[in-house]
Amino acid sequence: MSTTTTDTAAEILAGFEQSFGAIFDRIAWAEDEIAQAASRHPERADAIYHSFSLLSGGDAAERMSVEAVYRAHAREILERVAHGQDTRPGTAVEVVIGLLAAAERAPLSHEGFGLCARLWAVAGLPDHDGFTGKLEHIEALHSSRIDAEEADARRACRDDARKLGRIECDGWHHGQQVPCTYAA
């Protein structure tokens, strides 16, 4: 079987789209979440605009290829930026991803399941089979322990590189001149 240059180019393009398609999807989702956050918090729109680098997903990026999961992660980070909070602690999604990975090796404790259900609900992820419906009962029994485990888990998922550094702006956002507070 012989291949032509056209076939090879088409195959290369298809491979490129397959390899980078998920990255381009996440970029589009990030840009959309940034625009929505800027609309919700116009007083912090400039800081939110410059927060794109915080939304990579870090070590959990591969598991964030599902749109609802990635968007929940991005929303939490952008809400922290909007409120001037520390962006380094793990997000609800990052903790859930870690808990689900642990559950593949061993069953979660009641508190671990409660923490997973709590943060699943906090992230606004879709409820399957009444997953979060069990949360009220577990919270009633184990809330103080779940609180402590949440603090520990967010600390364990902390990404020290996920912080806004010095922002330099030329006054242009997406090809439009804007009165950015970070412009020289």
Residue 127 binned pLDDT confidence (cut-offs 50, 70, 90): confident
Backbone angles phi, psi at 183, to 5 degrees: -70, 145
The residue that leads in pLDDT, 1 or 72, is: 72
Residue 115 has pLDDT above 90, yes or no: yes
pLDDT above 90 as % of the chain: 70
Query: Using only C-alpha atoms, what is the Rg of the chain?
Result: 20
Average pLDDT over residues 130-151: 89
pLDDT of residue 12: 75
SS3 15: helix
Q: pTM for the whole thing? A: 0.85
- Residues 126, 64: Cα–Cα separation, whole Å: 15
Question: How confident is the model over 37-41, as a mean pLDDT?
Answer: 98
